[in-house]
Structure 1
Amino acid sequence: MKTLGIFRHAKSDWNDARLRDFDRPLNKRGRKGAAVMGKHILEHGVGWKRVLASPAVRVTQTIELAGEAAGETPPITWDRRIYLANSAALMDVLREQEGNPASIILIGHNPGLEDLIFDLVPDDGSSPLRDIVEEKFPTAAYAVLQLDIDQWPDIEENCGKLVHLVRPRDLDPTLGPNIED
């Protein structure tokens, strides 16, 4: 059994049209959401053995603020392939992990992260949390999956169960949709 965490970057700023997508920072609500989620992730207590992350600015800032709020930031493996990757590419990144860590948290972007959940968790009506993800996996959302595999190279579609899902608005209503920054 392996544990996979999926953490989407917090809300980014679209105000500077001159910036490349890769270079967009977090906006005010995103900074607050990253901090709230960082504390939750620590309190949830998985104890992530490996952190894999996109090096995009909005992801690096999300991790920095989440780590500050939690009081710790584990070592991070930055992998540019995670930036805007689709589900198949993310599964390839996970399959390549050496050392067989018990848990990995993947920090990146939609639609790839959301699609990864859909590919790993069967659509058989048994997961009300999957139904919530189908509505939307918003910025700074955090999901935990239990994977029925012994080694990361064994990851395949429908091998997972979604056991935990928290969105920023679940912890702080001011971080919900349609709230101005």
Structure 2
Amino acid sequence: MPHLVLARHATAARPPMADFDRPLTAAGSAEAAAAGEHLTRYPLTHLVASAALRTVQTSEAVARALADAPVLHADRALYEADIDAWLEVIDSIPAEATGAYVVGHEPTVSAVIGHLCPALGVPRRFRPSSIAVFDLPRWGLAPGDYPPPEIRSFKD
């Protein structure tokens, strides 16, 4: 049974730097590490992050926690992306992947969750360091056929 984890990046610094270059705060680094520890129970073999610094740093912390740290793919298309860009990334997950982790930004992450599982709807507060874990019967499900995910936040 494959697992799909959709995530929002951990807590990031506020401007004055450009949005794309915002790093995680110390609290955000701890949140990302806690999320990674939680995710060790899932066989994640495929990691994709928006190319923004805060999402890459979040994914790197998750990858460090995993036993066989999978290769992280940074995808510029997930920065300021729409639902269709996320669906393309999800559709590109290799069939042999036992689990995938995709991390990006709000409001798109919660919109994607609601699109995949309309019975759940769009989560109202998908805070930084939140994850939605879908236990799938197989890859290639159509939007609307996804089971309700487990949603959890690692932000204090």
Please, which runs of 5 or more residues in structure 1 have no aligned partner? 124-129, 170-174, 176-181
State how 1:16-165 maps to structure 2 within 5 Å.
16-17=15-16, 19-42=17-40, 45-69=41-65, 73-123=69-119, 130=120, 134-147=123-136, 150-152=138-140, 155-165=141-151
Q: Where is the helix percentage greater, Structure 1 or Structure 2?
A: 1
Structure 2 length as normaliser, TM-score? 0.85
So what's the TM-score if we normalise by structure 1?
0.75
Tell me, in whole angstroms, the C-alpha distance in 2 between the residues paired with 1:92 and 1:65: 24
Q: Gapped runs of 5+ residues in structure 2? A: none
Structure 1 segments of 4 or more deviating over 6 A?
none
Kept in 1, the 8 Å contact 2:117–2:145? The answer is yes
**Is the alpha carbon distance of 1:107 and 1:49 closer, same or farther for their aligned partners in structure 2, counting shifts above 3 Å?**
same
* Maintained 8 Å contact 1:37/1:140: yes
Describe the shift of the 1:31–1:72 C-alpha distance in structure 2 as closer, same or farther (beyond 3 A). farther
- Alpha-carbon offset, residue 157 of structure 1: 2.1
**Contact residue 143 and residue 162 of structure 1 kept, 8 A:** no
Distance 1:69 1:101, change over 3 A: closer
RMSD: 2.3
Rg larger in structure? 1
What per-residue deviation string (whole Å, max 9, x for no partner) do you get for residues 114-139 of structure 1? 1110001122xxxxxx47x6231111
Determine what percentage of the aligned residue pairs are the same residue: 27
